[in-house]
């Protein structure tokens, strides 16, 4: 897997779909992110790793518009989106999942995925109310798109189930589906495998690869499972205490002394860490 991803990365060099330039974010006296830059190749899988509190989720929140950077900017396909609202960022093609599952538990799998289509709905309020013309055709098209995602994620037998009744790994899969329903160009995944057992992690890793390779979606991923990161990533960015300390291929990052120190601690006098 790594060899193939490295070849894809070389082919895409210089074709960056998403660029983050020197962003910083403070909360009171705490600097969550400091002068971090990031380049995401079109069609690539870029993983962001780092110890707890490194600023990973805060960085994703700035990309998706939930936080506004104190300094720096975020550029999607040449367009500055730094000050745009989250809904506008989503409409431009950035979707995300959350570290804590954010589904509507009382709604079915199908209804949750249909909610993911809201940024693609164009029919006006009047036509929607009377269910006429454009609204009717649009509803059919949205339903077809959602049914295709249900099939893609192998959720056919669960479409009418409330998400509250699903196992944890399946709820994570539904959240991925809801993000895909927005037809993203760039998909931000915040610990999509967190809390899963090994079988569930392998399934989710395969779906992430399929989303990238079969659907052509660029992926930015926060993940703590280093085995998954090293297997599926084209590029790995490492944060520590709000700063970027390394960037490169999985192999390069694994050998980086700063990364080893950030994760394992620096030995002192031959003993301890």
pLDDT digits (tens, 9 = 90+) for 230-257: 999 999 999 999 999 999 999 999 999 9
Whole-angstrom Cα distance, residue 44 to residue 47? 10
Q: For residues 109 and 150, what is the distance between their CA atoms, to the nearest angstrom? A: 9
Question: In sequence order, which residues have a C-beta less than 8 Å from that of residue 159 and are 6 or more positions away?
Answer: 108, 109, 110, 150
For residues 1 and 168, which has the higher predicted lDDT (pLDDT)?
168
Compute the C-alpha angle 27/29/30, nearest 5°: 60
Overall pTM > 0.85: no
* Domains contained in the chain, CATH given: 1-53+61-88 (3.40.50.300), 93-217 (3.40.50.300)
- The stretch 209-233 carries a mean pLDDT of 94
Tens-place pLDDT, residues 94-118: 999 987 777 888 889 999 998 888 7
Q: How far apart are CA 195 and CA 44, in angstroms?
A: 25
CA–CA dist 42, 16 (Å, integer)? 5
Distance between CA atoms of 184 and 131, rounded to whole angstroms? 27
3-state class of 104 per DSSP? coil
């Amino acid at each position: 897997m790594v060899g193939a991803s490295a070849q894809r990365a070389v082919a895409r060099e210089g074709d960056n779909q998403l660029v983050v330039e020197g962003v910083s974010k403070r909360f009171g006296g705490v600097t969550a992110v400091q002068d971090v830059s990031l380049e995401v190749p079109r069609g690539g899988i870029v993983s962001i790793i780092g110890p707890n509190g490194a600023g990973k989720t805060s960085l994703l929140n700035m990309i998706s518009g939930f936080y506004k950077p104190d300094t720096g900017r975020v550029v999607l396909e040449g367009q500055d989106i730094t000050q745009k609202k989250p809904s506008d960022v989503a409409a431009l093609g950035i979707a995300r999942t959350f570290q804590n599952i954010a589904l509507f538990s009382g709604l079915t799998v199908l209804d949750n995925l249909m909610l993911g289509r809201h940024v693609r709905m164009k029919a006006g309020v009047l036509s929607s109310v009377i269910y006429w013309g454009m609204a009717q055709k649009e509803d059919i098209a949205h339903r077809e798109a959602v049914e295709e995602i249900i099939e893609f994620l192998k959720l056919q037998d669960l479409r009418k189930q409330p998400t509250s009744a699903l196992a944890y790994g399946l709820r994570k899969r539904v959240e991925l589906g809801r993000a895909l329903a927005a037809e993203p160009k760039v998909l931000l995944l915040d610990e999509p495998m967190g809390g899963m057992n090994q079988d569930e992690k392998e399934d989710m890793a395969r779906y992430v690869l399929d989303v990238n390779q079969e659907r052509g979606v660029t992926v930015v991923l926060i993940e703590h499972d280093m085995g998954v990161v090293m297997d599926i990533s084209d590029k790995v960015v490492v944060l520590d205490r709000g700063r970027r300390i390394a960037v490169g291929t999985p192999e390069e990052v694994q050998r980086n002394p700063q990364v080893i120190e950030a994760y394992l601690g620096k030995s002192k006098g031959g003993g301890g860490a």
